[in-house]
Amino acid sequence: MAEHESLEFGKADFVLLDNVSLEEFMANLKLRFEKGRIYSYIGEVVVSVNPYRAMNIYGRDTIEQYKGRELYERPPHLFAIADAAYKAMKRRNKDTCIVISGESGAGKTEASKYIMQYIAAITNPSQRAEVERVKNMLLKSNCVLEAFGNAKTNRNDNSSRFGKYMDINFDFKGDPIGGHINNYLLEKSRVIFQQEGERSFHSFYQLVKGAPDAQLRSLHIQRDPTAYTYIKVGGQIKSSINDSADFKAVTDAMKVIGFTTEEIQTVYKILATILHLGNLKFGSDGDVTLIENSKLVSVLGDLLSTKDENVEKALLYRTVATGRDVIDKQHTHQEASYGRDALAKAIYERLFCWIVGRINDVIEVKNYDARVHGKNTVIGVLDIYGFEIFQNNSFEQFCINYCNEKLQQLFIQLVLKQEQEEYQREGIPWKHIDYFNNQIIVDLVEQQHKGIFAVLDEACMNVGKVTDEMFLQALNGKLAKHAHYTSRKLSPTDKNLEFDRDFRIRHYAGDVAYSVVGFIDKNKDTLFQDFKRLLYNSSNPVLKAMWPEGKLSITEVTKRPLTAATLFKNSMISLVENLASKEPYYVRCIKPNDVKSPLLFEHERCKHQVEYLGLLENVRVRRAVKRLLQGCGFEHDVAYGKTKVFIRTPRTIFSLEEQRAEMVKRIVLFLQKVWRGTLARMRYRRMRAALIIIRAYRRYKVKSYIREVNRRFKNVRGMKDHGKHVKWPTPPKVLRKFEEALRNIYNRWWAWMLIKDLSPEEMVQIRAKVATLECLKGQRADLGLQRAWEGNYLVSDSPGTASSFTLVSSDLQRKDKFMRVLFSCNVRKINRFNKAEDRALLITDRHLYKMDPVKQYKGGASSIFPLALCAYQDITTCSDQLVVFHTKDNRDLIVCLQGIVPAGDSRIGELVGTVLSHFKSEKRKLQVNIVSPIHCSMNGRKCTVIVETKINQSQPDFTKSRSGYILSVPGN
């Protein structure tokens, strides 16, 4: 259970105050401070009072006490709000931010460091080198940024003189994977001037006091801060900060982050350059401006890696383009001093921005794809300058206080206003709580055409010399009737304001008088182009990279740059939009006294901060328990104690329990819905990933197959066999049908390559062989495909009677009008008297003739039947030359081819193929059967022809059998 603090330490949460009044609030705040309890809650807002002493409440043991706990389970602490932001980010996948606000010296920077320390400590998975590297970088970056962006002021020894917003990126597991830093409005005027009792940026004193002697000699620097004009202006050299030790810590931190040795050396060269610039003195010799201590010019040339004469020229002259002419205009003593100071401020600002950018290069998230690694989330930490009221408030303080107005406006919108509206939406009676709506102040500063920034920009754009006094006059004219603006001209009796110098704004944190001296120059933020070209042309690549605009030619016309006020306004608007898009958590820091005492609690000082921070209004908004009970209608049945609510009757308890049980159901359903949705999304992502992989693999296999086919068959045209020997690659399953089609295409192409040059006569023979192959392949052993088919064998087989056959065939051709001879051969046939006899068979494209060789082939006209009467053919599966022509009138013709030379050859395939090809050319069908025995019809009588092999048989011959006929063929 939670370890609650006893009442001797006051109320840990201001919401539990008995009476919500400013007096009780202040009494409780003072009691907790005096008892060493520097943290308190207002609901989920942490109120932090600067203890001005080291406290042992940030160690590893304390971190473990708050890790994974709810806010109410442990005493108030920064770690609790940090853990709440981390849990919201990790559990609910929400971007969160922690806004740390308060005036200068209230402890904002320390609070941001402890929050960073806690987040780094609770995300410590084992053996995750990259995560540890990122965490180390984020922590080390604080050390470097403080050195170059913080300074001692009269209110705070480690005051942030710039605004910092850091995003820490986490992956879907909650591990830090990177970050990004945005910096706002570095107070660069502090480089050349500090108010009395203050110091410049820490980095200068760290260099002078902490750098090794050899390094100081190389930089021409003495180990004496008072020797340098720029950093002794405030008259405060000593500080509670150990500059010497911090120099080593900062240098080591830069090395850890990833700064190279050359980059670190350049950083310190720039610091040394600024120190030497401050000691540069100008004199006059008549109308000519001179550098009195000219030895420093060579020192500057060495540090900036440029020529001495170029440095001297940039300091004493300004190059001006007048039309096509370019002239060198000499500076007056005042202009030269202004240019020197502007250069010092600009160099330091560029250095600081470069350091921030260099850190971002190292810590930013790289190679992160949300589709692969899941959505990354962000915790933002805002540590920005607090509200400031100095004796002399200039342009920087005006911008800083405007920034605080914007943040206070955000706080009002997101905490006070939204909670009130939520209660009103829920129908719970609400007593209106007044709060200071500082929108009117924000508009006073940033409104277009009417705001102070707009008037300042307009003054800077006017042609001719515009003074700060003229700017003040324009403000008086535009804002004379504004309730929150005044000046001495508008209030002549107010002697706290100077004529033509001061104006006052009624901020939410109090009235602040601003001196307009320097507003115009600081807003223009001008630096002579000669300096930019000088630094761009440096041989030092780091320094050169800081000044890219130095590349521009003097005659080149450029767009007017945005003013410092506009740039700052735009960055603040962007910052507020960024914060508003996240779930905010607040740390409100309070400064207990102005003398940094760990014991003194200045009542009026703290009361003022409580009022302008709106803390009391926040307490009133967050008094939720009583309002909820009233909303449920139980206000007459309860009594409120100090920390408990007492209920009189069981009915109220039962009713509350019923409502709770009903709510639990809704919560469980909600959790189930979220978890099921998460599981479904996980399954979907896995399935989608698998599908993408499968598709990619299939595409790869298909492409690989196509590429391999292309590779193997690329040069088949030049191959002797046109690629017939090439082995086809094994296709993937999805391409098997495609491969079949591809093979068919290839085979057709291959066949075409073989036959494209053949003569018409050869094509006729090819078609006949194809017909034979289609019909008889695998069913007859020898088809005679390898030899040439002569077709008309009666001419070649019987040379002695060839002339007689030729004469007879010619007469028949004239008589019967046939076009060509398909096939002719000597045959042994069975006549109508069932006797075997020798005949000659002539098949033309129209008729089939049976001729008698003994009668010189005459009388064939009587033994003729049209080829169209042939219904089908029968042959056997053996190597015999038997063929039966079945006719439609059942007068079948049974023949056995003979006289074949050589004797072992076969002509059955040629006979069948030639006749089939002819029928096909006339678009008729002819059936060929391979059967044994063959059934036929002789003059209407059914009979059977059987083939038998006889060893002593010299020639094939027919004999009569009981069922028909026997064809006896010679055996082997």
Q: Give pLDDT tens digits for 626-671.
A: 666 666 777 677 665 555 566 666 567 667 767 777 888 888 899 9
The answer to whether position 816 is within a domain reads yes
Question: Is 422 one of the annotated active-site residues of the chain?
Answer: no
Question: Is 824 one of the annotated active-site residues of the chain?
Answer: no
In terms of residue numbers, what domain contains 735?
715-756
| 218 is annotated as contributing to ligand binding | no
Question: Is 156 one of the annotated active-site residues of the chain?
Answer: yes
Q: Give pLDDT tens digits for 140-156.
A: 888 999 999 999 988 78
Q: Where is the domain boundary, 727, 756, 785?
A: 756
Q: How many domains does the chain have?
A: 2
Q: Give pLDDT tens digits for 109-131.
A: 889 889 988 988 888 665 466 66
Are both 735 and 834 inside the same structural domain? no
Predicted local confidence at residue 410, as pLDDT: 84
Are both 723 and 861 inside the same structural domain? no
User: Is pLDDT at 207 greater than 90 in this prediction?
Assistant: yes
User: Is pLDDT at 327 greater than 90 in this prediction?
Assistant: no
Query: Residue range 284-297: average pLDDT?
Result: 89
Can you tell me the distance from the alpha carbon of 893 to that of 594, in angstroms, rounded to the nearest whole number? 135
What proportion of the chain, given as a percentage, has pLDDT over 90? 37
Least confident of 325-329, 401-405, 499-503: 325-329
Predicted local confidence at residue 228, as pLDDT: 94
What proportion of the chain, given as a percentage, has pLDDT over 70? 91
CA nearest neighbour of 211 among 269, 166, 160, 161: 269
Query: Residue range 153-166: average pLDDT?
Result: 86
Are both 917 and 774 inside the same structural domain? yes
Helical segments of 211-242, H only: 213-219
Are both 812 and 914 inside the same structural domain? yes
Can you tell me the distance from the alpha carbon of 584 to that of 416, in angstroms, rounded to the nearest whole number? 13
The answer to whether position 320 is within a domain reads no
Residue 381, C-beta contacts closer than 8 angstroms, at least 6 positions apart: 97, 98, 100, 112, 115, 116, 165, 166, 168
Predicted local confidence at residue 795, as pLDDT: 84
Higher pLDDT, 638 or 751: 751
The answer to whether position 926 is within a domain reads yes
* Separation in Å, CA 887 to CA 817, 848, 866: 22, 11, 10
- Contact at 8 Å (CB) between 735 and 702? yes
Are both 836 and 868 inside the same structural domain? yes
Question: Is 540 one of the annotated active-site residues of the chain?
Answer: no
Can you tell me the distance from the alpha carbon of 138 to that of 117, in angstroms, rounded to the nearest whole number? 9
SS3 readout for 13-48: EHHHCCCCCHHHHHHHHHHHHHCCCCEEEECCEEEE
Can you tell me the distance from the alpha carbon of 111 to that of 383, in angstroms, rounded to the nearest whole number? 9
Provide DSSP, 539-574: S-HHHHHT-GGGGS-TT---PPPPPHHHHHHHHHHH
Question: Is 160 one of the annotated active-site residues of the chain?
Answer: yes
Are both 768 and 804 inside the same structural domain? yes
Active-site option among 10, 43, 105, 210: 105
Q: In the beta sheet, which residues pair with residue 165?
A: 182, 382
User: Is pLDDT at 210 greater than 90 in this prediction?
Assistant: yes
CA nearest neighbour of 299 among 212, 222, 193: 222
pTM for the structure as a whole: 0.63
Active-site option among 163, 234, 380, 386: 386
**Cα 149 vs. chain centroid, distance in angstroms?**
32
Active-site option among 96, 101, 109, 809: 109
CB-facing half-sphere around the CA of 631: CA atoms within 13 A? 15
Instruction: Read off the tokens for 291.
Output: 């550098």
Are both 905 and 798 inside the same structural domain? yes
Question: Is 104 one of the annotated active-site residues of the chain?
Answer: yes
Are both 784 and 798 inside the same structural domain? yes
**Cα 666 vs. chain centroid, distance in angstroms?**
37
Are both 825 and 730 inside the same structural domain? no
Predicted local confidence at residue 648, as pLDDT: 62
**Cα 594 vs. chain centroid, distance in angstroms?**
49
Predicted local confidence at residue 653, as pLDDT: 63
* Separation in Å, CA 500 to CA 420, 427, 445, 469, 565: 44, 54, 20, 5, 21
Q: What is the overall mean pLDDT for the chain?
A: 86
Handedness of CA 441, 349, 114, 240 (dihedral sign): negative
| 649 is annotated as contributing to ligand binding | no
Are both 778 and 927 inside the same structural domain? yes
Active-site option among 48, 142, 159, 289: 159
Q: Give pLDDT tens digits for 230-260.
A: 998 777 666 678 899 999 999 999 999 999 9
Confidence of residue 904 (pLDDT cuts 50, 70, 90): confident
Predicted local confidence at residue 1, as pLDDT: 27
Predicted local confidence at residue 722, as pLDDT: 86
User: Is pLDDT at 690 greater than 70 in this prediction?
Assistant: yes
User: Is pLDDT at 624 greater than 60 in this prediction?
Assistant: no
| 103 is annotated as contributing to ligand binding | yes
Question: Is 386 one of the annotated active-site residues of the chain?
Answer: yes
Predicted local confidence at residue 223, as pLDDT: 93
| 109 is annotated as contributing to ligand binding | yes
The answer to whether position 726 is within a domain reads yes
| 68 is annotated as contributing to ligand binding | no
Own/partner pairs, 314-319, CB within 8 angstroms, 24+ separation:
314/528, 314/530, 314/531, 314/533, 314/534, 315/280, 315/291, 315/339, 315/340, 316/289, 316/290, 316/291, 317/530, 318/528, 318/530, 319/529, 319/530, 319/554
CA nearest neighbour of 948 among 933, 936, 929: 933
CB-facing half-sphere around the CA of 109: CA atoms within 13 A? 21
In the block, residue with structure tokens 């059998």: 961
Are both 723 and 741 inside the same structural domain? yes
The answer to whether position 250 is within a domain reads no
Q: Give pLDDT tens digits for 847-903.
A: 999 888 888 877 654 578 888 888 888 888 888 889 999 988 888 899 999 888 787
Can you tell me the distance from the alpha carbon of 529 to that of 318, in angstroms, rounded to the nearest whole number? 8
Helical segments of 98-242, H only: 108-122, 129-149, 202-210, 213-219
The answer to whether position 881 is within a domain reads yes
Active-site option among 160, 251, 306, 772: 160
CA nearest neighbour of 782 among 910, 620, 972, 605: 910
Predicted local confidence at residue 175, as pLDDT: 83
Least confident of 47-51, 385-389, 553-557: 553-557
CA nearest neighbour of 7 among 23, 25, 31, 24: 31
Predicted local confidence at residue 2, as pLDDT: 36
User: Is pLDDT at 484 greater than 60 in this prediction?
Assistant: yes
Predicted local confidence at residue 252, as pLDDT: 94
| 107 is annotated as contributing to ligand binding | yes
Active-site option among 104, 169, 183, 394: 104
The answer to whether position 868 is within a domain reads yes
Confidence of residue 62 (pLDDT cuts 50, 70, 90): very high
Cα-Cα-Cα-Cα torsion 283, 288, 293, 294, nearest 10 degrees, comes to: 170
Residue 201 is classified by DSSP as: B
Question: Is 105 one of the annotated active-site residues of the chain?
Answer: yes
**Cα 968 vs. chain centroid, distance in angstroms?**
89
Supply angle C-alpha 683, 687, 691, rounded to 5: 170
**CATH number of the domain enclosing 811:** 2.30.29.30
Higher pLDDT, 751 or 148: 148
Residue 842 is classified by DSSP as: E
Can you tell me the distance from the alpha carbon of 958 to that of 573, in angstroms, rounded to the nearest whole number? 116
* Separation in Å, CA 215 to CA 222, 241, 280: 11, 22, 22
Can you tell me the distance from the alpha carbon of 273 to that of 966, in angstroms, rounded to the nearest whole number? 125
Are both 725 and 786 inside the same structural domain? no
Active-site option among 388, 396, 446, 910: 388
User: Is pLDDT at 376 greater than 80 in this prediction?
Assistant: no
Can you tell me the distance from the alpha carbon of 566 to that of 195, in angstroms, rounded to the nearest whole number? 26
Q: Give pLDDT tens digits for 834-861.
A: 888 888 999 998 899 988 888 887 765 4
The answer to whether position 824 is within a domain reads yes
